[in-house]
Amino acid sequence: MTGPYEPDWAAVRRRVADAPWAARVLGALEADFGYWSGLPLPGPDRPSAWTHHYFCDADGAPLRHDPATPDRHACTGCGKVYSGEPWDGAWRAITHNAAAAQAQRAALLLRLTGSRPARDELERVVGGYARRYRDYAPHGQAAGTGRVQPQGLDEAVWAIGLLRAVRWAGDALTPATSAALDGLARDVAALLRPQAGAVHNIPCWLLAALAECAVRLGDTALLAWCRDSEFGVEAQVRRGFHDEGLWYEVNPHYHYYALAALLSYREAAGPAGLSATAAQRLARAVTAPPMLAYDDGRLPAYGDGWAECFTADFAPHAEAAWSLLPERPPSPAPYYAHPRPAPVRLWYGAQLPDGVAPPLTGRSSVAALVFGPGDLPPPPPDPPRSFVWPGAGIGLPRSGRVRAALRYGPDAGWHDHRDKLGVDVATATGWSSLDLGTSGYGSGFTAWLRSPVAHNTVTVGGRPQPPHTGRLVASSPGHLAAESAFDGHTLRRALTVTGDGWTDEFTVTPAAPDAIEWTFHGDGPFTADGEPALLTGDLGHAWLRDVRRLRAHAGVLRGAWDADGAPSLELTVPDGFEAYAALADGNPNGRPLGIVLLRGHAAQARVHARFTLPPPAP
């Protein structure tokens, strides 16, 4: 049994002494350690609840976690206050995560400064859980069973944070607490092992937690099972990632969530924990997502991805991979092309509340401090390029002024929004048509974000698409065409980027004459040229407002979105179809979301859209 990847603590101390960014990270850790010191550990008398309940029904924004108010939770967006269950239970779950995070800070400060308060805090947190772990009753919602946490997934993430902190701290615990922790590790392993039975991001976390338990207990058989069982880590990497490096659930949030789990596993399991082939595949998982990014570093929030999602947010993954994937260490440099201020991020996978340390920009994570390279390698010199990923089913044609993406690939499972042939666009003028992503799964607002009309695609028969796989029809650096077929319906879409914009042609052939609805949204309200629009009803889509019927002339609708840099639109309206404009919420960049919608009933429909950008400034 080889040992885990352990930080070189002497080298980390030298880094703090020599590199200003590393000293700032340590200073932030010390400030947040002070803020969270003495955090009460929620006891076993009341169960924790799903953290996806900790979101506002009205606007989908997260609630504000305050350690001093376990029964009062205000929306960070609109200010609406929630109390009672399930929000109080979600507060307890987040507080458990905060405690495990505090254990990690304590271990780091103990290693880097020899702090006695850090040793005492580590003993308090770890001992508090280790001695009472069996008193927490098993319970579960959505993703298995936990004890401290509301499901197996959250239990695994929490346990990794706690056990990593102990491993990093060496022999800091008292013998009594160390013995109790061995019991916790055995109990966590017994709870989680039966739940790791699929290729999915959740078992990746379970396997990482089981690896930490195995290392703690010296259990070589468990460690081998984590690697080589039917749904072990080798299978997760081989079957879970497309050849291009993207996780099968497609959206960046779950891609990096699975990647963080698998890197956490590699850290605990050590060099023998992965084959060379699997390690190289994980390295591609680090280098692939930035290729999808818009020019400002934002990543598209496909499916159940979080709307606020930037490459810089995932720099810790690349920093950790530098040491944890020595077979082919991926450069973290692309993750710093668009730096964003952020709180110091622990090498940890849980939803964590902020502390008091001010945000830092650039290298600002624990992963950078303990695993990253001494100096960042230079960024790649080549500009972004067009590409097609056949495995993931994503094509991205580019011009000098437009980045457009068309998705046609395999169904992504439960987190898929069933929006095959969906398109998202960003332009050099700053105008965009973004995928809206999602909010907390317990929030009512998520019903809108998952609805067909919230996506740039076509609906047939007023029903969401079923799970299915599309196919690529044609591609070149500036052109992409794909087809989707289900329930006897055939949909084909072709995108072409040009020097001044792009064209988008959608052909729909239902199995029999049926209702067809085409939608496209972008930044700002949409206004048609010519006569004023007529206010009408909500068209059966409850989240739309200010719905207006638009007038086409000779079968062509012309207009533009009211936003800086917006393109003008020339849109063919098929015979018998009506055109509408509306507003809705949920645009990831915070701008008003203007929707253009075509609705009709036909045996076939062809919609041709020409988007023309304003000329560049002289």
Per the structure block, which two tokens stand in for 8? Answer: 């070189």
Distance CA 30, CA 33 (A): 5
Q: How far is CA 375 from CA 28, 331, 332, in A?
A: 21, 11, 10
- Quote the CA–CA distance of 565 and 558 in Å, as a whole number: 17
Q: Read off the tokens for 55.
A: 């979101």
540-542-543 Cα angle (round to 5): 135
Q: pTM here?
A: 0.94
Going by C-alpha positions, the residue among 568, 553, 565, 556 that lies closest to residue 589 is 565
pLDDT the model gives residue 58:
84
- What lies within 8 Å, CB to CB, of 151 at 6+ separation is 50, 140, 141, 142, 143, 144, 145
CB atoms within 10 A of CB 613: 20
User: What confidence category does residue 142 fall into, taking pLDDT thresholds of 50, 70 and 90?
Assistant: confident
Q: Report the alpha-carbon distance of residue 338 to residue 477 in Å, rounded.
A: 25
What pLDDT, on a 0 to 100 scale, did the predictor assign at position 2? 74
Determine contact, residues 149/94, Cβ cutoff 8 Å: no
Determine how many CB atoms are found less than 10 A away from the CB of residue 138. Answer: 12
Residue 614, pLDDT above cutoff 80: yes
> pLDDT at position 618, please?
77
* 204: DSSP letter: H
For residue 481, report the phi and psi dihedrals to the nearest 5 degrees: -135, 140
pLDDT, residue 407, reads: 97
Tokens 């068309």, residue?
406
- Of the CA atoms within 13 Å of residue 55, those in its CB half-sphere come to 19
- Per-residue DSSP letter, 478: T
CA dist 338 and 340 (Å) reads 7
Dump pLDDT digits (tens) for 58-112.
888 899 999 999 999 999 999 999 999 999 999 999 999 999 999 999 999 999 9
- The rounded distance, in Å, linking the Cα atoms of 172 and 544 is 58
Cα→Cα distances 444→200, 441, 582, Å: 25, 8, 20
8 A C-beta contact, residue 216 and residue 240: no
Q: How confident is the model at residue 57 (pLDDT cuts 50, 70, 90)?
A: confident
The pLDDT value recorded for residue 461 is: 95
For residue 439 the two structure tokens come to 């909010």
Percent composition of the chain: helix, strand, coil (DSSP 3-state, to 5): 35, 20, 40
Q: Decide: 462 and 456 in contact? Cβ < 8 Å.
A: no
Report the CATH architecture of 387-612: Distorted Sandwich (2.70)
Instruction: State both tokens at 110.
Output: 């103990």
Whether 1 has a pLDDT exceeding 70, the answer reads no
> What does the pLDDT read at residue 537?
76
Residue 19 neighbours by CB under 8 Å, 6+ apart: 374
**For 118-127, 371-380, 438-447, 591-600, which range has the lowest pLDDT when averaged over its residues?**
438-447
DSSP 383-430: PP--EEETTTTEEE-B-SSEEEEEE-----GGG----TT-EEEEETTS
Lookup: tokens for 230: 């039917």
What pLDDT is attached to residue 518?
98
Q: In what order do the strands lie in the sheet with 593-602?
A: 458-460, 514-523, 593-602, 578-584, 545-550, 534-535
Q: pLDDT > 70: what percent of the chain?
A: 99
Tokens 């699997």 correspond to what residue? 278
| CA–CA gap between residue 291 and residue 302 (Å, rounded) | 15
Going 278 to 143 to 264 to 305, the CA torsion angle's sign is positive
Q: Of 331, 472, 330, 340, whose CA–CA distance to 407 is shortest?
A: 472
Q: Cis before residue 150, ω within 30 degrees of 0?
A: no
Closest CA to 4 of 166, 202, 142, 225: 166
Q: pLDDT tens digits, residue range 201-231?
A: 999 999 999 999 999 999 999 999 999 999 9
397 pLDDT above the threshold of 80:
yes
Share of the chain above pLDDT 90, in %: 89
Question: Above 80 in pLDDT, residue 253?
Answer: yes
Break the chain into its structural domains and give their ranges. Answer: 198-340, 387-612
What is d(CA 292, CA 233) in angstroms, rounded to the nearest whole number? 26
DSSP conformation class of 377 = P
**Amino acid identity at 177:** T
388 pLDDT tier (thresholds 50, 70, 90): very high
- The pLDDT, as a whole number, for residue 508 is 98
User: In this structure, which amino acid lies at residue 113?
Assistant: T
DSSP letters, 26-69, are HHHHHHHHHHHTTPPPP-TTS----GGGSB-TTT-PBBPP-TT-
410, 357 in Cβ contact below 8 A?
no
Report how far residue 603's alpha carbon sits from residue 445's, in angstroms, rounded to the nearest whole number. Answer: 34
Cα(218)–Cα(186) distance, integer angstroms: 11
Q: Is the pLDDT of residue 10 over 80?
A: yes
Q: Read off the tokens for 260.
A: 């963080």
In the prediction, which pLDDT does 379 show? 82
Confidence of residue 555 (pLDDT cuts 50, 70, 90): very high
Q: Can you say whether residue 79 is alpha, beta or left, with left for phi > 0 and alpha for psi between -120 and 50 degrees?
A: left
- Structure-token match 């230079």, residue found: 378
pLDDT digit string, tens, across residues 410-442: 999 989 999 999 999 999 999 999 999 998 887
The pLDDT of 159-183, averaged and rounded, is 97
d(CA 455, CA 480): 19
Instruction: Look over the chain and give the mean of its residue pLDDT values, rounded to a whole number.
Output: 94
Tell me yes or no: is domain 198-340 CATH 1.50.10.100. yes
Q: What is the rounded distance in angstroms from the CA atom of residue 451 to the CA atom of residue 411?
A: 16
State whether residue 215 is helix, strand or coil.
helix
Q: What is the pLDDT of residues 443-500, one digit of tens each?
A: 788 899 999 999 999 999 999 999 999 999 999 999 999 999 999 999 999 999 999 9
pLDDT tens-digit map of 355-385: 899 999 999 999 999 999 999 988 877 788 9
Q: Is the pLDDT of residue 403 over 90?
A: yes
- Of the candidates 124, 107, 99, 96, the one whose C-alpha atom is nearest the C-alpha of residue 29 is 107
